[in-house]
């Protein structure tokens, strides 16, 4: 029992000393790119290789994972979008790589 208490005390102490935690606006310096301005590589933000007009701001892998999770768990896309807007102030497709 003493070992468990020591372990719990150690965990509690570590939790109180968190490392870097970004604020809500962290990583949202892409405002110029969101307006369609080209990035340095010549592409526009959200044009992650999708020719069907459904531009996502995150990476292709992140998009595929989000879509897979929504489909596998039969989540309501409207609710997922609402949670995204509540947490990040943007729809799911507008989430940047850090937010996604």
Global pTM exceeds 0.75: no
Q: 93 CB contacts (<8 Å, ≥6 apart)?
A: 46, 54, 55, 56, 57
Question: How far apart, in Å, are the Cα atoms of 71 and each of 12, 25, 58?
Answer: 37, 29, 18
Question: Which sign, positive or negative, has the C-alpha torsion 64, 74, 94, 49?
Answer: positive
Please compute Rg for the chain using Cα positions. 19
Q: What is the pLDDT along the chain (100 residues), one digit of tens a residue?
A: 788 888 888 877 777 766 666 777 776 655 444 444 444 444 444 445 544 556 899 999 999 999 999 999 999 999 999 999 999 999 999 999 999 8
The span from the first CA to the last CA of the chain, in angstroms, equals 41
Question: Nearest 10 degrees: CA dihedral of 25, 27, 30, 34?
Answer: -70
């Amino acid at each position: 029992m003493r070992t468990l208490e020591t372990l719990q005390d150690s965990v509690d102490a570590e939790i109180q000393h968190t490392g870097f935690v970004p604020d809500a606006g962290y990583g949202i310096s892409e405002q110029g790119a969101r307006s369609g301005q080209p990035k340095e590589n010549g592409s526009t933000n959200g044009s992650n290789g999708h020719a069907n007009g459904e531009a996502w701001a995150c990476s292709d892998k992140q998009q595929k994972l989000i879509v897979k999770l929504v489909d596998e768990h039969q989540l309501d896309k409207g609710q997922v979008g609402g949670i995204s807007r509540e947490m990040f102030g943007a729809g799911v497709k507008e989430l940047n790589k850090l937010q996604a």
